[in-house]
Amino acid sequence: MTQSKPKLRLGVNIDHIATVRNARGGDHPDPVAGAFAAIRAGADGITAHLREDRRHITDDDMERLQMLCENENIPLNMEMAAVDDMVEIAKRIKPHAVCLVPERREERTTEGGLDVAGRHNTVAPIVRELTDNGARVSLFIEADEKQIRAAAAVGAPVIEIHTGAYAHALLDEDFEKADKILQAMISGAKLGHELGLEVHAGHGITFDNVGKIAEIPELVELNIGHYIIGEAIFMGLENAISEMRNCMDDARGEA
Ligand code: PXP
């Protein structure tokens, strides 16, 4: 039986345009101009991570990104740590979506997703507060049954499955490990969907590894940054985004 697959949205993460800008401390290249170009090139959403150390995106970038996305009617997905001062910033900026990610060692699971199961008492009130303020909250977690059930239990409507370990296993040519992680992502996405969660995925996605991820029928969004921005150096941002879009559509069986 063929399962119908919802269209897979492409969220473009523009953090590393800011990384290049910050290398010189000026205002070029501007990640907001990059977001505008990404939208023109077909991005379905813009993602940016306001890190506690502000190593790339700044508070001012985030405010300008929200203005741009509002004008363009495109969702802004703000990635941030599950800490009180970030919650206050998110409440002020009011992005469409907030994705809670681990930044410190003790917030992570073994592979690197947010330890929602272990931090239920910290994460649950933050999910509630952000939701009450109108954000669609997602939790960046490993494809692990315990974490997925915990995400549903804290009331998050969305999970983003961490694809980083899969990407690394492929780079290491450890195909057995990659396949094991892929199977976990497939069953994790299915479980998330059954629990009523919207399922996204991201981290370390490239033209070469996106296919098997994009084939997972329950996924509705991929968030991709570093590789697209890196390829943009060689082929331009527009081409890098449309090539990624083509890879996703091919895997999905969409024309
Ligand atoms: N999704 C989340 C939750 C992330 O934290 C990141 C990295 O900021 C990405 C997706 C994008 O990962 P990459 O830059 O490796 O494509």
| pLDDT per position as a tens digit, 122-144 | 999 999 999 999 999 999 999 99
Q: Which residues participate in catalysis according to the annotation?
A: 49, 79, 203
Per CATH, domain 9-252 is 3.20.20.70: yes
Largest CA-CA distance found in the chain, in angstroms, rounded: 55
Taking the centre of ligand 1 as the mean of its atom positions, its distance from the CA of residue 176, in whole angstroms, is: 24
Give 75-128 pLDDT, tens digit per residue: 999 999 999 999 999 999 999 999 999 998 888 888 899 999 999 999 999 999
Contact 44, 7 (CB under 8 A): no
Q: Assess whether pLDDT exceeds 50 at residue 1.
A: no
Give 8-43 pLDDT, tens digit per residue: 999 999 999 999 999 999 999 999 999 999 999 999
Q: What is the pLDDT of residue 255?
A: 55
Taking the centre of ligand 1 as the mean of its atom positions, its distance from the CA of residue 98, in whole angstroms, is: 13
Closest residue by Cα to residue 80 from 44, 30, 130, 39: 130
What the block records as the tokens of 211 is: 């296919």
- Domain ranges for the chain: 9-252
Residue 225 buriedness (CB in 10 A; 0-12 / 13-18 / 19+):
buried
